[in-house]
Chains A and B, each alone.
Chain A
Amino acid sequence: MKGLLEYLKKEREQDWRVELRSKLKNKERTQLERLAMPEQAADIRNKNFAEVNLGLSEEQARHEAQRCIDCPNPTCITGCPVGINIPKFIKKIEAGEFLDAARVLKETNSLPAVCGRVCPQEVQCEQVCFYPQKLNKPPVAIGFLERFAADYEQNSGKISVPDIPAVNGIKVASVGSGPAGLAFAGDMAKMGYDVTVFEALHEIGGVLKYGIPEFRLPNKIVDAEIDILKKMGVKFVNNFIVGKTATIEDLKKEGFSAFLVGSGAGLPNFMHIPGENYIGIYSSNEYLTRVNLMNAADPEYDTPVISGKSVAVIGGGNTAMDAVRISKRLGAGRSMIIYRRSIEEMPARVEEIKHAKEEGIEFLNLHNPVEYFADEHGRVNKMKVQKMELGEPDASGRRRPIPIEGSEFFIDVDTVVVSVGVSPNPLIPQSMKELDVSSWGTINVNKETMQTSIPDIFAGGDIVRGGATVILAMGDGRNAAAAMDRHIKGKVRELISLIKEFKTIGEVLEFAK
């Protein structure tokens, strides 16, 4: 930690940074207003799948970058799960060195264009920014700037590929190609490892492809970042389910030394209320997968989706917001969020709730479904909901919703999306009985090293956390990569010291057996 602070200080004292700081007084910088993200108009965007946020222009980005006063003690970095050198990349933007800014991002973040779009900056870097902490003003728009630099580089045609040292010939694998796996792969490749990423689906990217919709994170942005990893030598194998197509034991025999399990959140949760299996009632995973991964909204594609006129999405998280906004884009007249707590307790990002409201989504807060009804073909046509009130805080610190007796009423619906969380994917734990797993089905790890009960196996992302964010999964992937590198090098040193103890070649060969 001390080394890091000294490094950051040294970076801050570089001539170009000092000069840039002298160009504008702090007082002038703090007078500048935070820019709003340019967006597609709400009544237009809720009929298309193009990106909602349009990104900053060069002038806008430089303006926003000027707001950053380049603090001597940059607290923002402590709020970043992957430890981006935030002031440095922002100052590069202010200096107009946009490609350099992107390079700074990529030193610690393999997916800057993704993170610039989907990270909850308001509860991370931006929350601990100088502005809200000391001035009670809106923070520097670090997320918008990250997206700007990453997009600028992607569009420049001059994408930099991080330097790769001499390959060390050690094979490691990631189980899953979501954010944990991709961050891990990038870091391991940078350290010279021979990395293979196994993916169960036909597309690489995990939740970035099947989960997050095109209007928040276009697939081509994800593919561009994956392409860089490919140029760094990372191999991707799709249609391969570790634990089924081949086991970790099989892969060890093929020469893989260590593994990161980033297999993600698997089984969708349901509420187990009457009628929940009627036609037209989806898990959010299914609804999103059909639309995002399988392109069900495009008639050219074979996968169908039921796109109703009156859609209820149950839940208050980001996934629920994604699902309800998709339903509007699929032509629903009425799209509703039904959530059992009040809007303040919603786990979704403020920006997603705001966007959803602008797009005409109805919010039925303090409501809970109790039963579904269907027509003679088994298609859902009605639901019964109950009103709730908030009681005492529960274990999560949020006030517990309590049903109000006799408050039930009916709503006509033809599509329902149940978005009440997921349980970890059971495939890996099922295939490795000796792996230490919690009663929730998540893999238990050492929280610093991400190492599991099996020393050569590390894990990160939703398979460990149960349900978290892209950036936390990426942080796990990075921590696992650092710890795996230490673990493997430790093993190699041990091996060398053992070999040194042998007196004859014969003993060495005997040991090698």
Chain B
Amino acid sequence: MNKIIEKEYFSDSVVKLVVEAPQIAKSRKAGHFVIVRIGQKGERIPLTIAGADVEKGTITIIIQKVGVTSIKLCNLEVGETITDVVGPLGQHTHIEKVGTVLASGGGVGVAPLLPIVEALKNAGNKVITVLAARTKELIILEQQMRMHSDEVVIMTDDGSYGKKGLVTDGMEEVIKREKVDLAVTVGPAVMMKFVTILTKKYNIPTVASLNTLMVDGTGMCGACRVTVGGKTKFVCVDGPEFDAHEVDFNEMMLRLNSYKPEEEEAYENFLNKYRKA
């Protein structure tokens, strides 16, 4: 049982929770994730750790309402508890000084990108960050990103904030302007796929942090398997970060929809119950 210490709405559908988890706060590094479960009948879902405070013994997670579990999590209030939080899981980000890093984050993927940007900046890199979303309200963590980046470029699909266009438009502008030594991308699979196509064109080594389905998160079940360089890898123990140029994003996108009918049905049932209550 892990208590919620702080809660903040970034938008109607994106919530930040600061959760009591002293051991995890102490052990975690950039790139690590946790598995959480809400209630005795809940499912286990992975969430990247967006930050931690060792002294207070807390970790920060950022959740977008997309299905039953994420809505349940977002509905928890300060003082309430998350039934299970386990971690830190996965391999942490490999951080070194490479020169100029072009980071790109889309949607709620901006949350796991933050600790990576922070660590890369602290290692002495020049960091240029491109944040992208459909519309202004969905741009999150802009101020925090500005604190740890040399430059932040905002892109929105509808042009309501920053520049109008896709994340790749913003990135290409930077790539044409200056030499980029490494790209890092976190976001929806389709976004990372197109980021990868772009960076391949310019021959820029690229790391993607993958967000697949998981059950145990410790290498036991294989739900999270992806094909990287023609080999099957487990995101939970081999990742979550991989050489993006080697990842089979098409397969990953198909697998992310494994339970689409079941999820839609569960979501309907949940809403019905919710309306009655």
Contact = CB atoms under 8 A, between A and B. Distances in A.
Contacts of B219: 266-267, 425-427
Contacts of A280: 258
Contacts of B27: 244-246
Contacts of B234: 267
Contact of B216 (A201, A245, A246, A378): A201
A365 interface: no
Contacts of B12: none
By DSSP majority rule, is chain B's interface helix, strand, loop, or mixed?
mixed
B232 A272 contact: yes
Given A245-B23, A302-B41, A268 B232 contact: no
A280 to B, nearest CB: 8
Contact of B220 (A202, A245, A266, A272): A266
Contacts of B68: 302
Contacts of A300: 41
Interface string A231-242: 000000011110
Interface stretch (B96-104, B137-145, B147-155, B259-267): B259-267
A268 B257 contact: no
Given A277-B232, A304-B263, A378-B255, A241 B86 contact: yes
A285 B44 CA distance: 15
A401 B24 CA distance: 48
B223 interface: yes
A241 B218 contact: yes
Interface string A395-413: 0000000000000000000
A239 to B, nearest CB: 4
A240 B255 CA distance: 28
Given A267-B237, A304-B262, A377 B257 contact: yes
Contacts of B41: 295, 300-302
A285 B263 CA distance: 22
B158 interface: no
Interface in A209-264: 210, 238-241, 244-246
A200 B44 CA distance: 13
Interface string A415-451: 0000000000111000000000000000000000000
Nearest to A290: B215
Contact of A277 (B86, B215, B251): B251
B43 A303 contact: yes
A239 B227 contact: no
Interface string A166-210: 000000000000000000000000000000000011100000001
Contact of B223 (A246, A278, A286): A286
Contact of A302 (B89, B221, B232, B266): B266
Nearest to A238: B84
Contacts of A201: 86, 216
Nearest to A239: B86
Nearest to B259: A304
Contacts of A277: 225-227, 232, 251, 255
Nearest to A378: B254
A306 B257 CA distance: 12
A283 B222 contact: yes
A484 B218 CA distance: 28
Contacts of B227: 277
A338 B69 CA distance: 36
A272 B225 CA distance: 12
Contacts of B84: 202, 238-239
B258 A276 contact: no
A131 interface: no
Contact of A285 (B89, B220, B258, B259): B220
A201 B232 CA distance: 24
Contacts of B218: 200, 241, 266, 425, 427
Contacts of A303: 43-44, 215
Nearest to B234: A267
B246 to A, nearest CB: 15
A267 B220 contact: yes
A277 B234 CA distance: 12
A289 B220 contact: yes
Q: Which of B219, B234, B237 has the most chain A CB atoms closer than 10 A to its own CB?
A: B219
Given A270-B222, A302-B69, A425-B218, A200 B86 contact: yes
A134 to B, nearest CB: 45
A240 B223 CA distance: 21
B42 interface: yes
A243 to B, nearest CB: 10
B86 A240 contact: yes
A165 B61 CA distance: 46
Contacts of B44: 202, 294, 303
A272 B222 CA distance: 13
A295 B41 CA distance: 8
B87 interface: yes
A200 B215 contact: no
Nearest to A303: B43
B221 A286 contact: yes
B85 interface: yes
B240 interface: no
A244 B33 CA distance: 11
A270 B89 contact: no
A264 to B, nearest CB: 8
Nearest to B38: A302
Contacts of B24: 245
Contacts of A210: 216, 220
Interface string B204-233: 000000000001101111110111000010
Nearest to A245: B23
A279 interface: yes
B37 interface: yes
Nearest to B226: A277
Contacts of A266: 218-220, 237
B258 A268 contact: no
Interface string B64-103: 0000110000000000000111111100000000000000
A240 B19 CA distance: 16
Contacts of B220: 210, 266-268, 285, 289, 425
B258 A306 contact: yes
B259 A245 contact: no
A158 B259 CA distance: 46
A279 B222 contact: no
Contacts of B237: 266-267, 426-427
A279 B257 contact: yes
Contacts of B85: 239
Given A240-B86, A378-B257, 12 more contacts: A200-B86, A200-B216, A245-B23, A246-B27, A268-B220, A268-B221, A270-B222, A277-B232, A286-B223, A294-B215, A306-B262, A378-B254
Q: Which 8 A-B pairs have the closest CB atoms?
A: A378-B254, A286-B221, A304-B262, A302-B43, A239-B86, A283-B222, A303-B43, A202-B84
14 contacts: A201-B86, A238-B84, A239-B86, A241-B87, A246-B23, A266-B219, A270-B225, A294-B215, A295-B41, A302-B266, A303-B44, A304-B259, A427-B218, A427-B237
